[in-house]
Amino acid sequence: MGPDRLPTGIPSVDRLLDGGIETDSLTEVYGEGGSGKTLFCLQLATRVAREGRWVFYIDTEGVSVDRLRAITGADLDHILERFLLSSPTNLEEEARAVATACALAREGKRPVGLLVVDSGTAFYRLSLSGDDEDDARQTLSIAVADLVGTALRAHVPVLFTNQVWRSVRAGTLEPLGGSFLNHAAKTILRFDRLPGDRRRVVLVKHRSLPEGATEFRITSAGLE
Ligand code: GTP
Ligand code: MG
């Protein structure tokens, strides 16, 4: 069984991805703060839950119910019935939450339609400045490897958001997580802020599609 596509519901992005994000592998979304990564995750999660499949959602930012309600409307309670939400507060807790979500997804008792880790690298970034940098790198790489394996075994899409750092020399915004994450992700999307509510989406890497770019807008009801 090859990969299926999960439509994002944003027509321009679905055209760019030839139908949506893929099952069986990890999709990385990176971009600066406010570029729309979290909204993108919430919107996809809402679509999946609305169709009756489970969403395993690991949230390191304390996603407020208000933000979710802005997307779901009156449907919120119904949507939350299909959410398995965990809110880790450090990298070790995040790694445990990933291990639990992966084990449950592989067990297959609940029909899982999407696994989200947002932000995947916020705690990792905090660890980079301390003496435990190598430990942090190892913890993150084990979690990402588990996600990659689970995507394939459970035939689900995994959405993993990544923060950026500014390369002063090159004058560019680069994803955290280094080359390891770069290889682990089979699809990589970069979100850029444009003036106002516009955002550019760049397809940086894909298993079977050419690189490309499109735009979406952030509205009170989500992305369109
Ligand atoms: P970080 O988690 O900080 O890295 O950011 P992110 O990439 O997850 O960004 P997020 O998805 O949280 O995007 C928030 C952006 O959406 C901000 O720029 C908000 O100003 C904007 N936003 C939120 N609600 C609305 C809305 O109702 N209308 C408009 N136009 N913009 C909104
Ligand atoms: Mg966010």
Which residues form the pocket of ligand 1, taking CB atoms under 6 Å from any ligand atom? Answer: 31, 33-39, 61, 119, 163, 197, 218-220
CATH code assigned at 24: 3.40.50.300
| Residue keyed to tokens 């450090």 | 90
**Rounded to two decimals, what is the model's pTM?**
0.96
Give the closest ligand to the alpha carbon of residue 163.
1
Q: What is the pLDDT of residue 119?
A: 96
Q: Which domain holds residue 207?
A: 5-223
Nearest residue by C-alpha to atom 20 in ligand 1 = 34
| Residue keyed to tokens 């944003």 | 10
Three-state secondary structure of 21-57: EECCCEEEEEECCCCCHHHHHHHHHHHHHHCCCEEEE
- Quick one: average pLDDT of 107-134? 93
Number of structural domains in the chain = 1
Is the pLDDT higher at 62 or at 178?
A: 62
- Quick one: average pLDDT of 90-119? 97
Give the integer Cα–Cα distance in Å for 40 and 216: 11
Q: What is the pLDDT of residue 126?
A: 92
Three-state secondary structure of 48-79: HHHCCCEEEEEECCCCCHHHHHHHHHHHHHHH
Q: Which ligand 1 atom lies nearest to the CA of residue 67?
A: 24
- Which of 58, 69, 173, 218 has the most ligand 1 atoms within 8 A of CB, as the residue to mutate? 218
Residues 223 and 39: beta-carbon distance below 8 Å: yes
Give the closest ligand to the alpha carbon of residue 32.
1
Using one digit for the tens of pLDDT, what is the confidence trace for 133-143?
A: 899 999 999 99
| Residue keyed to tokens 């139908």 | 19
- Which of 38, 63, 117 has the most ligand 1 atoms within 8 A of CB, as the residue to mutate? 38
Q: Which ligand 1 atom lies nearest to the CA of residue 163?
A: 4
Q: What separation in angstroms does the CA of 159 have from each of 13, 23, 39, 63, 195?
A: 15, 10, 12, 16, 26
Q: What is the pLDDT of residue 204?
A: 97
Q: What is the pLDDT of residue 150?
A: 98
Q: Which ligand 1 atom lies nearest to the CA of residue 197?
A: 30
Give the integer Cα–Cα distance in Å for 69 and 53: 19
